[in-house]
Homo-oligomer: A and B are copies of this chain.
Amino acid sequence: MARFTSMEQLRFLLFDVHRVEDLFGYERFAHLDAEQAWMMIEAARMLAEQEMFPYFKAMDETPARYDGKGGVKTHPQLQTIIRKAADQGWIGGYASFEHGGMQLPEMIFSTGHHLFQAANNGVEGYTGLSSGSAGLILNFGSAEQIETYVPKIFSGEWQGTMALTEPQAGSSLSDIVSSALPTNYGYYQIKGQKIFISGGQHEACDNFIHLTLARIEGAPAGTKGISLFIIPKFRPKQDGSLEYNDVYCAGDFQKMGQRGYATTHLSFGDNDDCRGYLVGEPHKGLSYMFQMMNGARISVGQSAAAVAMAAYQASLQYAMERPQGRPSGEKDPAKPPTLIINHADVQRMLLTQKAIVEGALSLGMECNRLHDLTHVTSGEEKENHHLLLEILTPIVKTYSSEQGSRSAALAIQTLGGYGFTTDFPVQQHYRDLKIMSLYEGTTGIQSLDLLGRKVTMNNGKALQLLGAKIMETISGALAYPSLQSCAGELGIELKRIASVVQHLFQFAQKGEIDRYLSDATVFMEMAGYIVIGWQWLKQAETAARKLVEKDFKANSESFYQSKIHTMEFFFRYELPHAAACEKTLLQDGNLTGIRNMDMFT
Interface set of A (CB-CB < 8 Å, partner B): 6, 8, 165, 169-172, 174-175, 196, 221-223, 253-257, 263, 316, 320, 322, 324-329, 332-334, 337, 341, 343-351, 354, 405, 409, 412-413, 416-417, 419-423, 427-428, 430-431, 434-435, 437-439, 442-444, 447-448, 452, 511, 513-514, 517-522, 556, 558-559, 561-562, 565-566, 568-569, 572-573, 576-577, 579-581, 583-584, 587, 589, 591-594, 596-601
Contact = CB atoms under 8 A, between A and B. Distances in A.
Contact of A592 (B172, B351, B437, B519): B351
A513 B437 contact: no
A423 B253 contact: yes
B444 A346 contact: yes
A341 B444 CA distance: 13
A514 B572 CA distance: 18
Contact of A601 (B329, B556, B568, B572): B556
A440 to B, nearest CB: 10
B325 A172 contact: yes
Contact of A568 (B263, B579, B591): B591
Nearest to A452: B328
A442 B413 CA distance: 7
Which of A349, A572, A596 counts the most chain B CB atoms within 10 A? A572
A409 B434 contact: yes
Given A345-B521, A417-B196, A601-B562, A333 B175 contact: yes
Contacts of A349: 444
Main SS of the interface on chain A?
A: helix
B444 A413 contact: yes
A417 B165 contact: yes
Nearest to A555: B601
Contacts of A341: 597, 600
Contacts of A169: 324
B584 A171 contact: no
B517 A337 contact: no
Which of A350, A409, A517, A592 counts the most chain B CB atoms within 10 A? A592
Contact of A170 (B222, B417, B600): B417
Which 3 residue pairs of A and B lie closest in terms of their CB atoms, listed nearest first? A222-B333, A558-B598, A344-B518
A412 B568 CA distance: 33
20 contacts: A165-B417, A170-B416, A171-B324, A223-B333, A255-B420, A255-B422, A256-B427, A256-B431, A344-B518, A345-B444, A347-B592, A412-B438, A417-B438, A419-B438, A556-B601, A559-B598, A561-B598, A572-B587, A572-B589, A579-B579
A55 B442 CA distance: 31
B569 A591 contact: yes
B345 A448 contact: yes
A518 B328 CA distance: 9
Contacts of A413: 437-438, 442-444
A420 B598 contact: no
A253 B421 contact: yes
A558 B514 contact: no
Contact of A328 (B221, B437, B514, B589): B514
Given A196-B417, A421-B254, A170 B434 contact: no
A196 to B, nearest CB: 5
A24 to B, nearest CB: 28
B333 A221 contact: yes
B573 A584 contact: yes
Which of A344, A421, A422, A559 counts the most chain B CB atoms within 10 A? A344
A250 to B, nearest CB: 15
B422 A592 contact: no
B174 A333 contact: yes
A579 to B, nearest CB: 6
A6 to B, nearest CB: 8
Given A558-B596, A573-B591, 6 more contacts: A171-B325, A175-B325, A221-B333, A348-B592, A417-B438, A565-B591
A251 to B, nearest CB: 11
Contacts of A569: 591-592
A328 to B, nearest CB: 5
Contact of A513 (B325, B328, B519): B328
A492 to B, nearest CB: 12
A326 B325 CA distance: 56
A513 B434 contact: no
Nearest to A512: B329
A300 to B, nearest CB: 13
A435 B419 CA distance: 9
Contact of A559 (B196, B443, B597, B601): B601
A335 to B, nearest CB: 10
B562 A327 contact: no
A562 B594 CA distance: 11
A316 B600 contact: yes
Contacts of A430: 256, 434
